[in-house]
Structure 1
């Protein structure tokens, strides 16, 4: 008998017997948790199934019926609406329904697959098992629709399946195939044959970047009899019949959550624009791309003449230039943010920060193209860079995007100084010449782009940037923080307009994966002086250059974590020149070939040293920070982070030096040496660059071992480093406690929330999250001179405290419609005249009151009360102005519903939604917590979706029921008791006499968190395709307003890479 109290991990329900046994153990040995709503049904169902499997098979019909009646009673007790699901007596199995006769033909059912449709099985092409190829034929004969995602599609795999594929299409079925040109292993002949048979095929042509490895079939049938195959087999003769393969045949009936996840993932790929629809007319392009993916060269293709090779190469380059015209998801997000800051904030100076290799120039060209109006002259353009090579490449990019080979001219370098047109790509050295610059009108150019904008602090660059007064100016850089500590953000509005997060670039396969290892280096930095929130550079250098034990720890870590240290190409980032030289000397003494670079080195020496590193003659080059301008060594595969940095931008810049993609490079090893730090050292800032904070806070992910990282990446901390990192992260969280906040404010005496956050580096949520704090309360407890006095009237003082505690509930309000209206009302010189409010403004006032949980009898009364509470009004306005800076998507008007103050892509509390629609009134709030609501008088269907039902625990059964398929499509499932024929379902879908005319989709990431728990309005939706299934019914909604990339990135199932 198994010992039910055996030590170790467990994952099971506590039964009566187990509960009795646990009573004998001390509480500290028992680790348990309450059953969560999101997993209740799955866990209870599995428990019942385990019990049922232990029953003896009944010997007679009477016993079969007795067991069936027990099951029926259980069904009836769950919900009366499930009465139709009770099993008819005597119990029987339905194996099929024969189609009605057609003329003289006798209809027959297709044979059932060898493996029953509701059964899951492992297939290994072994003795006694049907081969995968045979099973696929059987599945095709009885399927309605088929989806296939396959890395390699071969002719020998397609040919045996042709008859069944053709038959499926002839009886009205559909076939969808997703593949890529990865490694050039797919056969053009096979793809063409699939298309001729009637299949719809989508191909991603940058296959070697995508690295599609997936192999999966999905067979769709009515009645939840879907099946799937997932495993190792590509579409080839060997894989389907006699290869050593492992594949799982999955039945939806057996694992519905897994099948839904597979379907959702496939649909996401299918709707990803990077997978292009294929037709027979694309055959030559496919052949060329497959050839490119195979890495053809003269030796492999000696039969081709040099002329043929040159012509083919030219055609391939032209094809790739066409691909660059369409923005990739990360580029689209940058473009969306530029549009947002211009339209919503009237900002026209921008700094775009993105790692080298992510296509900043393409973004600039696409941004310019959007500002061109068809039929009108293009805006005048000035593009500034410091090297002729950059200008020539940038000019070609603009020409490709604009599809105009005659666009633009170069000023400077070999092109000369005679450029006089309206679209100029200029070398800064030429442009900055006093005689030339002074002769150019400051308003000569509408649009100005500054490439490598980190040079902006230099005198010549400042002279150029300061001379012009364009309509728009955009700086482009990968390194906004220079090694001399100067930030160029002040030249472009003081902040980064948009910043490509490092984990996003890795997740989208724009950069190589990272293997980050945090290593204890044995140093104690607590002894060093801490000034202005950081260590002094000189103190760090003195400590590190006198500590030979640290050097040995660094070398030992290299030998432990780098596969072949003798072949590594490493960059080491040091504190200063003294430290870099010391590390180079120490590594050379220990048998490595090392060198160092500093800002004092000539360009020729820098190029020579980096050439040695690239050639493998050096294993490591040490320098300060990011090695300065002009450093681009994609072959770097190892980074040594030898100095502490709290700047997330500088940390990302350092990592970016090692994450450039290059042939044969699979990942970059990052060794970060972590000492004992000052109590105020901010670990959270550096790890923000590595993790997706949509999946939880940095400290939560660190405690769980960083489970959500881009594919191929990892974070490993040794025992001591892990303890220090988590302690530092937890200390930062603890720093938001009330007493600490009061102490910090008393020390700085800040008059506004914004100044306090800037000085302390905190976020606004740290003020409002703990103990229902407010800024006003914080000021009063700190005895701040800027604090507004509390009311002397006890009742008014009590109301003020209630409203101050509720101000935190305004943190999601970022759209200009509410921000501008509410701040205008509350900070005016006199109380607004409510009689002048239009109907939409009346409802916006109700929205504000309901967020504050305040229900006066009239809007006038509510505003009058707020006017008696100046501290509340002041704090609301301060917070709203801060919120406005966090706007991440341009709000769009909600058309078709007049007087409804809702905007597409803005976030709302459920109470605000009902107030905006007039369902709630000023003195009465609509109580509603379900996922659907039909406002019959307005003929408007509301759908409220929570994507992650349980953020604390991964629950596959509920994670993917509702999800974005693409920027235009959203998969939604009805309440569990809805049928396709139910009145509620038909009204929701816009069918029948009670059909909804408007369908509004509201989506939130989670049910907790100030912002994530607020619903984002995805806008009006329309039915796309057919209703699928019963109880629940699945629907694909087509969004009338496509999702911005930043929103889609938060709700998509898989990354775009």
Structure 2
């Protein structure tokens, strides 16, 4: 046997089947034309596109049992792991974890957290120096195992961030390598120690002694804090602060006198202000905020940065009047009093800084700002969005020096990570918590016990719980505090009726550990800093994304001994559940597809994780199905928010550039024909002539999505030069990385001449051409050229073209379709260069001369007729069993045309597979790839319509060119209804 054959046999026996194998077996094995890419050996690592945790989670969710042999664990990643295990426990799936006390890396609390997981048995290896990192998943139904071996321990950093190498492979249960691994694990398992509370207590003693010894050594070797010449600790700006300081300086150099910084809570806004004041070096400075408790902390931060004698710093509040100070820190209430304002000259302060600047619409703030005439004013806020009509951006002359939102701050590790868990709220006899639940139900003993079970299961970072519990009403907060206290968890409630001093006393109790929780409704949304908070518990519906982020932000400040904050969201039968994925990811697109994907894919943000248990997912999908994200009211709200920010009427391209509403939402709206019609409503724009409006509608509905750039590229050229040769057009298309051939050129001609569209389409879009073709060149149609003399019309045409080209950047044009992007039948008809728009006749598939697009709705509606309710089904992540229309036989002309040339997994026509889970997802289907027909599986079958009626139908297996990615395959094929 030659070397190549020897390697083949060794590979087969090692990874597939260790039983005897012949040359014919090897030849047969290596001649297989199809493979499931999810089973292929793969190198796993962490990147912006994927991480190791995602692959582990997929394997956990699809296996029937598992074994981890891993030395090191961390609490952060145990939180999302527990969410997966909670669902697996419902399905009766168990696992084993073999770990160690190696180097005493694992904190004792980690072992206690592992013991909370009911469906996991944990043992401690007795092997000295146990440092394994292996994950084994058993898929017994398919008789194979998946193994992940490499460098990743079960820690947040290793599974989400660090540069790691892990080999993932799958094999039969009896492969040599799998057998060796299991024999090794079982041998070690049998000699290991069962994890128990006694073992943890003994481990704790040694662990604590080692920690004390290490601390003493560190104390000996660590010098005192670095101090500046004036005795103050040297504080250096972080990355965000450095960038913002440069921009603030540039804004002032350009002659501007006002600026706004938008920065997530906990990212160092106050220090940034201090750094900028230091670089400005004012003769006199004023800091304004709405609460005295914030004032004192802010002044302390400024003293640390600026230095100098303490007499330079003073407070103006209800209790102090230190107006002599060079750096004056004032509450807005005190400063706004007429008697206090008149103490100062209008030009008293060179530099004024307003913290929580989103409050500046209040009369008291405006009175202050209208009085003073400083050289520079800086506003700082985490949430510039307002629910009233006040325009904070206008107040600061639309000068945004810097913006860092929550998701960016988390990626930059400026905040402590959050571990979000969405769980179902309490239920009794099918009754769910909803917006109208009675107080008796909300604060019942059974619900409180259920909440405590979840809270204790998911835990917190640190030695003791320090949590905020947000409730739906004040009475609930008070009763919950009483119940929790009776059950051994000291809790106090606060409401808007409590005075500032009372709140400060309760917060102090939380910080010192006298109480574990504070229950409230909305009073901790902003304006208070409690860095020790390590648990946030949401027992109310999400009313707005802004409030959700404000409440989440209460736990994101870094604090000694806190590695992350646990966020437990009890998701009841709330109509606003759809806001949860929108708020967590910062998505403002109002695109349901994106919201669904964020629930299904549960993305990570830096070291932060998002997890939904199965029932919680169902609650959110129910909400998404029942809500209109693109209602006229919603679009108006987003429009005016962007207008306030820009100081002018936004164009469609602005929505794309500034991460607001997806421009395609305007295009897809059933209530609007084009964006100009929207502006007619919100800005009372004059009506356009019907011919002009029709053309805007055509460009919007057909081209704005950017799914094919060719028409947009040609129009962009023609709007600059009235004549464009085919060669120039082709070269420009190629520069975009897109394909071009004669079929595409002809299709582009037909679309822009309107010949492509049906008579109804031509009537809706205006029957005159946009582009004509003559002597190997494209020209703007004379009538359309006349339309462009209307400057308003021309402006909106340009905007559609530019927005479409921006949208096109989301696609890969090396092929006709981009994998995992959504396409409607209308999109596919145009992109496949069909001579006319055959959207209404494609139905499930269309066999054309050179191709066949196939559209599959995986979960058929109960309302559709039995004659089309055939069950297309994935056999694995690369193979779909597909059915033709009914009343078709193998010898039918349509079927013969489809299977023409099929042999050895080759065929004459390209087959494109588009799939969506169900009709709730709208008109778009995900493009999953090109398919080949497995000729061996073409079968004549019968479709049963009723007891007496059967119709002929043809089935066959479609083999995708690539396996469907893990999460998407799971989403399509699982039973959760979305």
Normalised by the length of structure 2, the TM-score is 0.46
Normalised by the length of structure 1, the TM-score is 0.43
